Structure 1
Amino acid sequence: MIHTTAFPKGRITLVGAGPGSADLLTLRAVARLQAADVIFFDRLVDADVLAMAGDRAERVFVGKEVGHHAWPQSRINAEIVRAALSGQNVVRLKSGDPSVFGRAAEEIAAARAVGLEVEVVPGITAASAAAARLCHPLTERGVTDRLVLATGTCGAEEEWSGLSGLVQPGTTIVLYMAMRRLPVAGAELRRAGLPLDTSVTICAQVEKRGETHLHTTVAEMAADAALAGIRDCAVVFIRVPKKALAKGARVVDRPEVTAVG
């Protein structure tokens, strides 16, 4: 007769690590990190954030880079579920907010498929953090009353939805993971009628070492970003004021790059 040991089910918590600095974590995020048995963390999670976890927590790096997927999503799903089914308190630690381009839906579905309890702890997303660093509100009364978060990255078999439908007066557009598509994005914005001199701000490595702010235009954003060496981990702000398409936008005479910290 074969005897098996039954372990009580653990739980999975998706925790938003925010953009970088540990002092931007929520109190709930810190509490979940300190209670974790094992933490599966992303490439962009800062070491200071991990330091907030309890000493007993096992730390497992599951980072992914474009073109290098030692940890494909299916493997991450399987590992966090396996750990929780063994009775462990699992934290899936993601940069920014888990629900903003964080593949949270797939991990929640994997957990629920086997009856595991799931909790999501929100974090500060890069758009909010960058806007705060710049002291530029994401919306402004009488100027922008709509905020759109969009990604420039999609699945291998998916077609990028593009930007043309997003260019509406009174809109702040924030692009995530779009640096490789900046030339295409610029062309789409121009075709949508956005003036070439519309100001664009690119924030790289927000709340991390090497943080950089690039102020440029729709016409020059791809070339200026390449010249500044901004290739990854950046958000792109395009503000379309309510009267921008009719009267043009503010002119930026030349690109301005600011290194922070």
Structure 2
Amino acid sequence: MTDNGEVLDGSGTNDNIETAATRNEPGLVSLVGAGPGDPELLTLRGKRRIEEADVIVYDRLVNPELLEFARDDAERIDVGKSAHHHPVKQREINDMLARLALDGRRVVRLKSGDPFVFGRGGEEQKYLHDRGVRVEIVPGITSAIAGPAAVGIPVTHRDYASSFHVIAGHRKREGHELDWDNIAHMEGTLVFLMGMESLDRITGNLIANGKPADTPIAVIQWATREQQRAVRSDLAGIRAAVDEAGLGAPALIVVGGVASLLEP
């Protein structure tokens, strides 16, 4: 970001910025997990990498408060995506990260949750490795665990579940459906991320494939943030409960006995 507040696009330069290149150091991309939303749940290493960064490339769900840890002269590049709206394509993000690092910059790729849990961190790591770019992974607390915990739901519990499964709630491509027969019969807790747009499809497929309609389910919106809200019901009734409460994305969905433990 320049002194006048302009956000650069990753190709611009600022002569006043001291980068790894001006220090004769090789560039580095740090794939940093920003945690589930609450800034206090960012790791110490993640905070340090943000403070050291020349450039921060961040996603839509990253809490803006985390950017306040950055240096005043650090570039901030928003590459956030939302449902059906990807203004910056993934291949462009990959190219940007490589270009900035090869230019000698210290780059933080800041991702909500953990970079390796549905964050495309694995794709970006491979792309950078293939081009000889130094890359490190800074794990973050995933919302798949922290989100339920924030409302009193443990993903495992001796009385309810000895395992949990984290599932992407949306499909990579149209026509490629999840294996609902397998999912419906999994032992333990099911946690769906990015699934609010597909809530009816998720519950309908679970019931159609043998999951009892009275199975407890909880929906948690803005988990760990001040605006956090949650509702619980069963598979048959969750749509009505969500509509009555006015919940929407971003939210995660928890299916299984542990959902009955949601704090009032």
**TM-score bracket, shorter-length normalisation:** 0.7 to 0.9
Whichever residue aligns with residue 13 of structure 1, its letter is: S
* Structure 2 Cα separation of the partners of residues 74 and 151 of structure 1: 21
2:53 to 36, 44, 48: 36
How many residue pairs were aligned? 243
Work out whether residues 167 and 240 of structure 1, in 8 Å CA contact, stay in contact via their aligned partners in 2: no
Deviation at 1:95, TM superposition (A): 0.5
- When normalised by structure 2's length, the TM-score is 0.84
Aligned match of 2:232: 215
Q: Which residue of 1 aligns with 2:142?
A: 125
Give the conservation status (yes or no) of the 8 Å contact 1:215–1:257.
Answer: no
Cα RMSD (Å) of the superposition?
2.5
Alpha-carbon distance in 1 for matches of 2:50, 2:120: 20
CA contact (8 A) 1:162 1:185 kept: no
What is aligned with 1:25?
42
The structural deviation recorded for 1:183 is: 1.2
Alignment check: 8 A CA contact 1:174 1:236 kept:
yes
1-side partners of 2:179 and 2:225: how far apart?
Answer: 29
Which has the larger displacement, 135-144 or 159-168? 159-168
Contact 1:15 1:120 in 2 (8 A): yes
2:152, 2:257 → 1: CA distance?
A: 18
Which stretch shows the higher mean deviation, 173-182 or 149-158? 149-158
1:69-218 aligned within 5 A = 69-157=86-174, 159-168=176-185, 170-218=187-235
2: distance between equivalents of 1:187 and 1:93? 35
Amino acid at match of 1:14: L
1:42 and 1:64 in contact (8 A); partners too: yes
User: In structure 2, how many angstroms separate the alpha carbons of the residues matched to 1:42 and 1:65?
Assistant: 10
Partner of 1:244: none
CA distance in 2, matches of 1:167, 1:62: 35
- Identity value in percent: 36
- Normalised to the residue count of structure 1, the TM-score between the two structures is 0.85
Shift, 1:26, TM fit:
0.6
CA contact (8 A) 2:57 2:77 kept: yes
- In the alignment, is the contact (CA less than 8 A) between 2:183 and 2:206 conserved in 1? no
Q: 1:89 to 1:150 in 2, by over 3 A?
A: same
- For 1:119 and 1:61, locate their aligned partners in 2 and report how far apart those are by CA, in whole Å: 21
Q: Distance between the aligned counterparts of 2:141 and 2:38, measured in 1?
A: 10
Matching residue of 2:15: none
- Give unmatched runs, 5+ long, in structure 2: 1-20
Change in Cα spacing, 1:158 to 1:93, as seen in structure 2 (3 Å) is farther
- Looking at structure 2, the residues matched to 67 and 165 of structure 1 have their Cα atoms a distance apart, in angstroms, of 28
